[in-house]
Each structure stands twice: as C-alpha cells, then as structure tokens.
Amino acid sequence: MKPPPLRIHRPTTLEDTLDLLSEHSAAGKVLAGGQSLVPVLNMRLAAPSDLIDITAVSGLDELLVTGDDGQTEIIVGARATHRRVERSAEIAAANPLLGEALRFVAHPAVRNRGTTVGSIAHADPNGEMPMILALTGGRVDVRSTRGERSLEADELNVGPLETCLEADELITRAVFPGLPAGARAGFDELARRSGDYGLAGVGMIVDVDDDTVTGLRCGFISVTDVPEILNLDALVSGTGLNDAPEAADAVVDAVRNFIDPGGDIHASADYRRHLTGVLASRLFRRLCRGENPRKRAGGTRRPATDTKRGRA
C-alpha cells in the first residue's frame, strides 16, 4: 500500500463535513476527486491522519448558470467534476473559457474524477482552472463551523500551491462570471505530451465594440507563481480588429515583460518566455478574427506553424 495509514470519513451532510474538518483541523484534509491528493499520498509527500471524503455530501454537486443575459454567473459546486463542467452546453454558452481550458486539463479519465473546485483549492500555478477563475473575475464561497466568507481569486491565491484557506475551511463552490456581451475569450497552451501540464499557457478576454478593440486581459499558466492578471486595456484600446496583427507585437512585448517563468528539465525560462509570447500573439489575432479554437490536434496539440509573421 502506497499511501501512509489514514482514516477516511465519508460524511453525507455539509454540517457533518464542517464538524469533521473542525475536529481534525491541521491533521485532516479534504478529499475531493483525489487526482492531485492521491498522487501526493502515493509519493508520501504528505501524511494527513484523516481524510474527509466529500464525494457523497449532498448539496455540493450543483452546476448551473444563473442570472439574465449579459449578467450571468456560472456556479460550480465542490463535487462537480471537470468532465461535467466541460460537457455542459449551458456553461459553454455563458462563458466558453471554462470548457476551452478544461480540454487541456489531464485526460478524460482524470477529468472524470477530478473536480474544478479541487483544482482551485490545490492552487497549482501550472493548473488551468485557478487562472481561469482569476481571469474571469470569479470567486469562491467558503464555509467552516466558524462561519462563511467569499474570496476573490487574488485573495485566495497567496503562493504556488498555497491558498489563504484555513485548515477547517471548505470551498463549497466556485462562481465564474459569464462573458460580458461583446467580449471574446480563448485559451491556448503547449505541453510536451497530450494531457501533461503545459509548459506555458495563455487565457485572454478581449472586449470588442463594433470593429474596435476596447480592452484586453491576459492570464497565464506555468509562467507566473500565482494567477496574476495582466490588464492591457490602455495598450490595445482603439485598435481596429483588422489591425490586430500589428497590435499583437506590443501585446507580446507586454506579456514577456510581465511573466516570471522558471526553468526546469522540460524547458528553460527563456524558452517559456518566448513560447508565452507566441501563444499570446496567436490567441490575440485569432480572437480578433473571431475564429473558434482549432480542434485539439490528435495527441500533440501543436499549434499550426505560423509562416506569415517571423516574430511570433
């Protein structure tokens, strides 16, 4: 048996869950889909004495879109798997960013168990969903026996793999705002193999009024410590949609200055910086053209080679 000895509790009500979390506090841990926690336990990088399995807790499986056109919110309960979120047509209509990014999260067999909220709680800077929460301006609702609070993404994320959650706190749901009218959004990344964490990834929301760009926000994976959002409203405002190729160069410069990649055996910091710029340029131009994402190419997800522009 690979994991260290531990006791697993399977509460069915939120009240019991919060009591258990309060009782076991620092020695206990929430078990959601287990797709990040169980590998950690199998490698014995952590040894909690008690796991509180939330997969049978009633009330945590909500998945819905609320509000009116232009002012919608996507509510993702703590038990909702990546796969359910990805498959929801209603969510795709309210904000395509979630589904677009989720297709890059691991493989279907992992997404069938892993939860979007668990991913946000895990706060991996290589993970897609913590960044998507920040980019969309979302929040999480948190409960404990001591009360409840709501946290914006930038309050929640304090460092790589680190949130401001106390040991007895449970995220009950994540709330992602829908895409505002006129805005276009997309996500792209490059990984060494299908399903791996990306070497770099970029998410973007472009505001468009008629034929003119009026705003741009970018979020990144694997090249910043926490999901910080780069606001380039001033840089791109007033750019005509047809002039996107020229404006893209300035976007690339701003992006490369903003990020802070590290190097490892898979890719050097310089390569990641370069790659992030390439992804940002392609994504910005694609969104300005109003095209849908290319279908994920079989296995490799390699973006089509760009021959037109030498730069990016």
Ligand X SMILES: Cc1cc2nc3c(=O)[nH]c(=O)nc-3n(C[C@H](O)[C@H](O)[C@H](O)COP(=O)(O)OP(=O)(O)OC[C@H]3O[C@@H](n4cnc5c(N)ncnc54)[C@H](O)[C@@H]3O)c2cc1C
Site residues for another protein per CB under 8 A: 1-8, 10, 31, 34-35, 38-39, 41-43, 51, 53, 55-56, 83, 106-110, 112-113, 193-195, 295-299
From another protein, ligand X, none, interface partner of 164 (C-beta below 5 to 8 A by class): none
Q: Which is nearer to ligand X, 123 or 252 (CB)?
A: 123
State the CB neighbour count (10 A cutoff) for residue 288.
Answer: 24
CB of 212 to another protein, least distance (A): 37
User: Exposed, middle or buried: residue 32 (CB in 10 Å: 0-12, 13-18, 19+)?
Assistant: buried
Judged by CB under 6 A, how many residues of this single chain contact ligand X?
Answer: 29
List C-alpha distances in Å: 30 to 22, 56, 64, 271, 306. 11, 12, 23, 36, 45
Residue sitting closest to ligand X (CB): 114
In this structure, what token pair is assigned to residue 184? 């276009």
Give the whole-angstrom CA distance, residue 112 versus residue 122: 17
Which residues inside 7-46 make contact with ligand X, applying CB under 6 A? 29-37, 39
User: Given strand 147-152, what is the order of strands in its sheet?
Assistant: 63-66, 73-77, 170-177, 139-144, 147-152
Question: Could you say which of another protein, ligand X, none residue 85 binds, taking C-beta under 5 to 8 angstroms by partner kind?
Answer: none
**Cα(300)–Cα(293) distance, integer angstroms:** 15
Cβ of residue 260: shortest distance to another protein, in angstroms? 28
**Which one of ligand X, another protein, none is in contact with 158 (Cβ closer than 5 to 8 A by kind)?**
none
Q: Is 188 helix (H, G, I), strand (E, B) or coil?
A: strand
The residues that touch ligand X, with contacts defined as CB under 6 A, are 29-37, 39, 78, 105-106, 110, 114-115, 117-119, 121-122, 127-129, 165, 170-171, 195, 197
